[in-house]
Each structure stands twice: as C-alpha cells, then as structure tokens.
Amino acid sequence: MGVTEVAKRALVGRKLRSEQLGETLLPKRIALPVFASDALSSVAYAPDEIFLTLSLGGLSAYTFNWQIGLAVTLVLLTVVASYRQNVHAYPSGGGDYEVATVNLGPTAGLTVGSALLVDYVLTVAVSISSGVQNARSALPWLEGHEATAASVLVLMLMAINLRGTKESGRAFAVPTYLFMIAILMMGLWGYSRYLFGDLPSAPSAGFDIAAEGQYENGITGIAMVFLLARAFSSGCAALTGVEAISNGVPAFKKPKSKNAATTLLLLGTLAVTMLMSIIVLADLMKVRFVEDPAHQLLKNGTAVGDSYEQDTVIGQLAKTLYSDFTPLFYFTIACTGIILVLAANTAFNGFPVLGSILARDGFLPRQLDTRGDRLTFSNGIILLAVAAVVLIQAFDAEVTKLIQLYIVGVFVSFNLSQLGMIKHWNRHLSTETDPQERSHMMRSRAVNMIGLGMTATVLVIVLITKFLAGAWIAIVAMIAIFLLMRGIGRHYDRVSEELAIDNTDTTLPSRVHAIVLVSKLHKPTMRALTYARVSRPSSIEALTVEFDPATTAKLMEQWEELAIPIPLKVVNSPYRELVRPVIRYVKEIRKQSPRDIVTVYIPEYVVGRWWEQLLHNQTALRLKSRLLFTPGVMVTSVPYQLSSAGRAKQRLAKDRPAPGDVRRGFRDHG
C-alpha cells in the first residue's frame, strides 16, 4: 500500500461496499444533531442580530425585541408544519428542488437549486465565523486570526464528513445535545432567579445607546416600521436549516418519512423554546449589544471607547448568571462555539445530496453523483468546503458582513416550495373523492397557503432591508449558478442527442485503412506493426515523417533488410513539423474514401516513474490530441513496457489483503 493510500485510509477510514449503504442510515437520536444543528445553532446568533439591528434606533427601539422574537417564532412554526408535509409527500430527498420541479417546472426547480446551493455555502461560512467569534469571548488570542481559524475548522469538518454521515453524526451528537442542555439550563436558572427576585442585570445594562444619525431625533412612522422590519429579517436567520431535513429524508432509518417528520417537530419545539428563552432573558437583564460598541455605547453621555470588549448576547447572559461559578460560563461558551461550528455540518449533509440530485438530472457535473469510499458524495463535500473557505477569507470571517448575504436563498426556496405544495394539493384534490382524504388535503393546503403568505412577506422584507447591505451579492451568485446549471443541462442534452443511436450506427464501414506511425525501427515499432497486421485491416501501411534525408534513407534500408511486408510511406516536412504532416496525410486518406475508417497505430513507451513520463511520449500525446478531433479516425496506442514499468508492476502485484480480509479471518494478522 502506497503512502497516498495509507494517508487516504487514515483520513476517511476503510472502504465500504455498496451493499453496506443501509448501515449508514440514521436513527432519530443521531439525525437530530446531524440535520438540525444549523437551525438549533441559529438561536446563538439570531438574538444578536435582532438586538444589533434595534440598537440603531437607540434604547427606545430595544423594547420591541420580544415582539420581534414572537414574530420569528410564528414564521418558524409555520415553516416546520409545512415541511412536515413535504417529507411525507416527497420522501426521495429532493426536498424543495423536487417539489418545485414536479409542480412548477424545471425553471422553478433550478431556481430553488441555485438558491439552496448558495445558502449552504453561506451556512458554513456564517456558522463557522460566528463560532469563532463566540470562542473569542473565552480565547482572546483569537483576535485578528478569525479567518484563519475558521478556514481550518471548515477543513476539519470536511475531513470528518468524508468518513461518512453516520460517523460524523456520532461525533457531533454529544456536543449538540450539550448545547441544548447549556441553553435550556441557563434559561431555567435565569427565570428561577427572576421569580425569586434575584435576577442580576448584565454588565452592559448601565450603558445608554447612541442612535444612528437618521434616528437621533427618535423613530416614528415609516422609519420605525423600516427598522423593525430590518430587525425581523435579521432574526429570521433562525429559520435557516429547517429545509435540510426534507433534503435528507433518504438518510433516515425506516419508516423514513415518519422519522423525518418527528425530527422536524423536535427541531421546531427546541428552536422556539431556546430562541425565546434567550431573547426574553436578555430583555429582563437589560443586555446591550450594538454594532460599534466603542462609539454607540455611552456611559454618562460619553462613548466607552475602544478599550471596551463586547461579548455576544449569550456570552453576557452566561457571564452574569454564572458569575459565582465560572465553570458553567465556560461550559456554555464552549458549547455555543462548538454548536456554531457543527451547524455547518447540516450543510455538509445537505449540499452533497442536493448536488448529487442536480448532477443526476444533468444540471451539474456527473462527478457530484459519485459516492466515495465511505458511501458519501465526497466530491460535493470537498466542493462545499473550498467554496466556504473562499467566502470566509473574502469577508474576513465577519458575521455582520456575511449575515447580510444570508437567508435570501433559503426564503426563495421556502416560497417556491410552498407554492409547489399548494399546486400539489390542488392536483390531488381534483381527482380525490374520499371525503376524509379531501378534508386532510384541504387542511394541508391551508397550512401551505399560510406558510406562503408568511415566507413571501419575509422575503420581500429581506430584499428591501438587506439588498444594498449585501444581499445583492447572494442574488448575483444565485443567478450565476442558475445560468451555469442551465448551460450544463443544455450541454448534456446536446451530447445525449448526438450519442443517440440511428441507422448509420449499424452500417459497417466500407474499408478499414490502417496507418502505423514510425519514427525509427525498434521493439515498440515492431510490436505496433505486428498488432496492426493481426487486426486484419483492409489495407495497411507505415508512415514516417522526413526531417533529415540521411536518417530516412537509413530507416528505409533497415526496412528492406528486415523484409517487413508492409509498405513504408515517407511524408516530407520542410519546416521540421511532425504533427501537421501526419494530420494532413490522414485527412487526405479520409477525403478519398469518406466511408472508410482510418485507424492510426501509435507506439508508446510505458514507464514506471513519473519523471520518465516527461522524457517520453510527448509527441504521441500531441498526435493523439489532434487525431481525436478528426472525424472517422480511430487512434490506437500500442504500449511497450520498459524495465522500470516492469518493476512498478511487480510492486503493484504484491499479494495484499483486501479491505476486511484480516477481520474476516482470510489472512493472518502478521
């Protein structure tokens, strides 16, 4: 086993057989952290974004934080209810893409596909960056190195996911459940102290907040509506990741749809409870969280300056509530940082599956539909990691910048999915006669109609409030990916049409004319001549290109001495070219007999070392690359193994145990 293979096995583990795919399916207890970590983790940064946006209007705007939280919760519960229907109606794993394609057509499906692909990349970038920023509360040395740390974490997640869905789920299950415990425990402790009148105020409670210029004279009317709408759109980041379960239904154990729907219900209940507990607790403890603390936070009318370090909302809550027992503070911060990193794992499960479905439908390269050694779509995992690292480096891992690009894609898919489901129910209602089934379908359609109304409203608000702040970048990316997929789809369709069998494909060629290329007489040339003769073409000749008359004369003399029973054709090359005279000669043969097939035999060396390849076969490579574009011409490489290739063959032929042989007792451990 070579060094590369050893490194690969160490990274991804032993290979799995195709029939072992069932062993990788997930029970609900593991599926929840795998597919719901993104939605659950959003409770760590969605409150930050709500408070940060409201801070633009000063302290007076802060009074609306819990109302905005309730509005976000209402939308979240409606979307969860809608997706519970999706997983029953479309359990194949296509999710929103399949719903839109089946009910609204390929264009709508591609729109959803491009939106989700962009959103998955942003999920990784935002989650990892947010995790690093939260970790900075406990690890000050991360200051200034956030982008590097985030990129390293993305690559680590990629490596873990390459080992398989079940393995990554097991690795991430404990941290995800610990995060739930940390947030729920912090909420219970905080509300208990509130009930007993012992709830402390956050360290930032004593600060006043300087409103932004346009809000300095207070916020009323349209300005107030716009600010609240912007805060609401930022808080709707809590809905990201809800769609991941509908895309991952095939990864669940049977009954797949039922288990996926149950997991969605658990996700919705936990996300709402955790989100509202943080927002209300932060309001009770008078937490102040602003975009520019050095200038926005005021103490006795004076800005606090650059010396003040602002912790996240969860960081402030934990530090205050656990001031007498710091281990719980570090536990909460650690769990929050880890879950924000692991939230990206949802995208690492959703992106490759969606990519494989799009590739299967001919809209992305076929390689994305290939399973790797561990039965994962490894090419999709690697592509997602690379795209996320590029985004993190481009935006320097700043969540405030990245969040502006976020949630546009997911709400585009939400809207088209809801619209598709409404059409789905309408289609079934037109043929269903059973009163009980019709009643069920009408209730389901009502849920989707309410969901469409809510998600459409959110999308409009997001586009209005975030377009100039950065959402336009995500929209441009979606359009670019949409056009790219359309182009790939047209290419595959065109190739499929060209490759379709017609009457001409069953007609035999009139003759087969063989040409053996000769540079000098040696063993590779003789092998090519012999192979061409054994192939029994209609006619055969050898072809050499003359650079030097003396060399050509010597070759012809050797040819006659060996009495080779094949005519040798000499083509003159006054400009010392090799490829062009051969191509010209082959085309002349084709022009004389268009129904004939011309087979060109090219002798090649087979070497065992990479550097030897650089010293040989370059002319053959150039010839093949040109001949492959010539209609009616077949190119046959006739290999001749040099001694170095023989030694390489011996190394490869050594008897090695196949994966699992030792475990099954077919080989000795020694």
CATH of the domain at 208: 1.20.1740
Same domain, 159 and 247: yes
Number of structural domains in the chain: 2
Phi, psi of 543 (to 5 degrees): -135, 130
Let me know if residue 108 belongs to a domain.
yes
Q: Is residue 604 in some structural domain?
A: yes
What is the three-class DSSP state of 604? strand
Question: Is residue 488 located within the same domain as residue 574?
Answer: no
> Does 389 map to a domain?
yes
* CATH number of the domain within which 581 lies: 3.40.50.620
Indicate whether 504 belongs to any domain.
no
The verdict on pTM exceeding 0.95 is: no
Residues 166 and 217 in one domain: yes
pLDDT score for 484: 95
Three-state SS for 180-200 is: HHHHHHHHHHHHHHHHCCCCC
Residue-number span of the structural domain to which 559 is assigned:
509-653
Q: Please give the structure tokens belonging to residue 127.
A: 């989650």
> What's the CA gap between 488 and 510, in Å, rounded?
37
Q: Is residue 451 part of a domain?
A: no
Do 488 and 591 reside in the same domain of the chain?
Answer: no
For residues 35 and 143, state if they share a domain. Answer: yes
pLDDT tens track for 301-315: 888 888 787 888 998
Whether residue 468 sits in one domain with residue 541: no
For residues 473 and 544, state if they share a domain.
Answer: no
* Whether 486 and 588 share a structural domain: no
Q: What is the pLDDT of residue 6?
A: 55
According to the model, what pLDDT value does residue 194 have?
93
Residues 475, 585, single domain; the answer is: no
> Does any domain span residue 293?
yes
The per-residue pLDDT for 655 is 53
Contacts of 333 (CB under 8 A, 6+ apart): 134, 135, 137, 138, 314, 315, 318
Same domain flag for 474 and 546: no
Give dist(CA 437, CA 434) in Å, integer. Answer: 5
Low-confidence ranges of the chain (pLDDT < 70): 1-24, 93-94, 134, 137-138, 164-171, 213-221, 373-375, 400, 403-404, 504-508, 610, 612-617, 645-670
Q: In this predicted structure, what is the pLDDT of residue 143?
A: 76
Domain assignment present for residue 426? The answer is: no
Q: Are residues 292 and 333 in the same domain?
A: yes
Name the pairing type of β-strands 512-517 and 597-606. Answer: parallel
> Which residue stretches of 468-548 are H helix?
472-499, 523-534
pLDDT digits (tens, 9 = 90+) for 446-505: 988 988 888 888 888 888 877 777 778 888 999 999 999 999 999 999 888 877 777 766
pLDDT at 669: 45
Token couple for 295: 């200038």
In terms of domains, do 576 and 483 share one?
no
Determine, yes or no, domain membership for 312: yes
DSSP output for 30-84 = HHHHHHHHHHHHHHHHHHHHHHHHHGGG-HHHHTTHHHHHHHHHHHHHHHHHHHH
Q: How far apart are CA 518 and CA 520, in angstroms?
A: 6
Q: What is the pLDDT of residue 366?
A: 87
